[in-house]
Structure 1
């Protein structure tokens, strides 16, 4: 744990490190729990890997760190990965971390019962994020025109959207777990829907690796993915312990709230990723004007290592 905290302080000061040390940049999210577990239980160390897990404030900073070879691996939403690769950041998707967990949050007293009740309302999201793409897709599926039928406001942070919703500045927000469950259990929020109602088990966050690391350290990458699979299985087999570990790394949340937010009807921790779903997400991003061109499947994915460790 001390190494994790030290890593947060030093992450922007450390140049690319070769040799046996691997820097893994992640965020605060339920489905990043496999990395919290691997760090907490010293699974990398047990596999003979010198790895440092770094908690980074934003997806943009992780992308920039990967571009500068500051990190060898990272985890962030699949949309962030696709956009980065479309802009020629030298990374590839090597595994999944989670599915579902995203949806629409409203106030309990809103009277809204479904997506069609959003017509004429104010809804917030984070531009070009997974929350943006899935919101637009859900609206499209319900025949709602986002430009004509409602007003979309763009924020930078999940917490700011929650605050604006709670105080009545917004009518809804496209958000994620455990923030939505916390709002609902606090008594003021209501989860209007999960996007899994429109795309079953949709991909959320993925693991990416720098191309140079893939080429130069294939055996180390395979060991890291072996640990990742082990940590995913631990998360699914030990939900209560996982909730407590998440709370150690995501300060300010109650373990009971996090445990509730990990329910199978809300999300799943997973390592499996399928080419078809990645291409489907890329096609949606192009349709909504978030990328100009769809990268070839071979540029987006490197799944051979994951297949080896899950045989």
Structure 2
């Protein structure tokens, strides 16, 4: 009898059938059919669409979770093949807006910019890291100070992302602006090193490990680490779609639990050698020195509330310094209530 009801339930998901089954639960067979309802109303993790940035050392906790099978420990069927890889955070947000992603690792800047300009259907559910970027210049560029950036061609991964904002703050600190640059261009982080080496650009701002790799591979120079420009600035976060949060909150909680476990694992010095191997595997960088340098430039923190004042500062500057990113009509406090969901921080 139970098997027959299950077959009907699987064949037809109409409201009428659901009501009939709920009636059957009340009459009898409560435990068995209730379990099936929960499974179908809350799809398995195999349907979770997760995104991250290609080779981004900021997303090392995700690499660790994949490599150490932490997802499987939580009953989540997420593997390397499950991840959609993107060149930058703006592309991640476009995917969110198209309904192609459920959860992703990406920069705070594109997430916030798209929320403000497009009311993107996402919320920030966890932090990933602070710091982790740098202004890199070629030794032949003649750039030795921030003032020397005037008249130079500088590349960033994307407009209005954190690296672009770091450059803006650096320029502003010495009385310069984007208008004082010779050229302010966007370039994939994977192409920045070669463009610098061939003289196509004079410098770039990127996330790790691309800064460390350029220093290690072609002898480029770090003009300033982002932590020197803005100490403990926010960078990457985990964002989830509103739909995932409202329909599969338990899954979101498990994903955050995995993320926190990965960061705790990374902080254990006994795992350091394995951490380097994992970072090399997922970034395709073979140099231990470059990977170690890159990791040293990143601070991994899952609880974004610990650096909320810096996030508030970022919001203020993002909306005040960029004509194309308006402030939230109801104000910053109302925006943060809409943009952040702190209920998963204690997962």
In the superposition, the TM-score normalised over structure 2's length comes to: 0.77
Partner of 1:41: 68
* CA distance in structure 2 between the aligned counterparts of 1:262 and 1:44, rounded to whole angstroms: 23
1:136 aligns with 2:162: no
Shift of 1:200: 0.7
Residues 290/138 of structure 1: CA separation in 2 closer, same or farther (3 Å cut):
farther
1:70 aligns with 2:94: no
Partner of 1:246: 279
Structure 1 window deviating more from structure 2 (44-53 vs 225-234): it is 44-53
1:207-226 matches, cutoff 5 A: 207-226=238-257
Q: Is the 8 A contact 1:108 1:187 kept in 2?
A: no
More helix by share: 2
The one of 134, 137, 143 equivalent to 1:112 is 143
Q: Is the 8 A contact 2:58 2:207 kept in 1?
A: no
Shift of 1:80: 1.1
Task: State which structure, 1 or 2, has the greater radius of gyration over its C-alpha atoms.
Answer: 2
Partner of 2:15: none
* Cα shift readout 1:15-67 (whole Å, capped 9, x = no counterpart): xx960212221112001111111111111111122335414133344223323
> Structure 1 residue runs of 4+, over 4 Å off?
none
Residues 153/111 of structure 1: CA separation in 2 closer, same or farther (3 Å cut):
closer
Q: Is the 8 A contact 1:239 1:259 kept in 2?
A: no
Partner of 2:25: none
Partner of 1:279: 312
Aligned length: 289
* CA distance in structure 2 between the aligned counterparts of 1:177 and 1:138, rounded to whole angstroms: 18
* CA distance in structure 1 between the aligned counterparts of 2:145 and 2:337, rounded to whole angstroms: 39
Partner of 1:303: 342
Give the aligned CA root-mean-square deviation in angstroms: 2.1
* CA distance in structure 2 between the aligned counterparts of 1:261 and 1:79, rounded to whole angstroms: 21
1:86-125 matches, cutoff 5 A: 86=116, 87-125=118-156
Structure 1 window deviating more from structure 2 (211-220 vs 234-243): it is 234-243
In the superposition, the TM-score normalised over structure 1's length comes to: 0.86
* CA distance in structure 1 between the aligned counterparts of 2:233 and 2:272, rounded to whole angstroms: 21
The one of 171, 174, 183 equivalent to 2:214 is 183
Q: Secondary structure at the match of 2:51?
A: strand
Q: Is the 8 A contact 1:239 1:262 kept in 2?
A: no
* Cα shift readout 1:116-156 (whole Å, capped 9, x = no counterpart): 22223222223222111111011112222331x32232123
The one of 37, 50, 59 equivalent to 2:77 is 50
Unaligned runs of 5+ in 2: 1-40
1:79 aligns with 2:109: yes
Partner of 2:225: 194
1:293 aligns with 2:332: no
Shift of 1:292: 1.9
* CA distance in structure 2 between the aligned counterparts of 1:112 and 1:69, rounded to whole angstroms: 43
* CA distance in structure 2 between the aligned counterparts of 1:290 and 1:194, rounded to whole angstroms: 27
* CA distance in structure 1 between the aligned counterparts of 2:311 and 2:234, rounded to whole angstroms: 8
* CA distance in structure 2 between the aligned counterparts of 1:61 and 1:176, rounded to whole angstroms: 16
* CA distance in structure 2 between the aligned counterparts of 1:90 and 1:284, rounded to whole angstroms: 23
Q: Is the 8 A contact 1:155 1:161 kept in 2?
A: no
Structure 1 window deviating more from structure 2 (91-100 vs 46-55): it is 46-55
Partner of 1:4: none
Q: Secondary structure at the match of 1:50?
A: coil
* CA distance in structure 1 between the aligned counterparts of 2:53 and 2:204, rounded to whole angstroms: 20
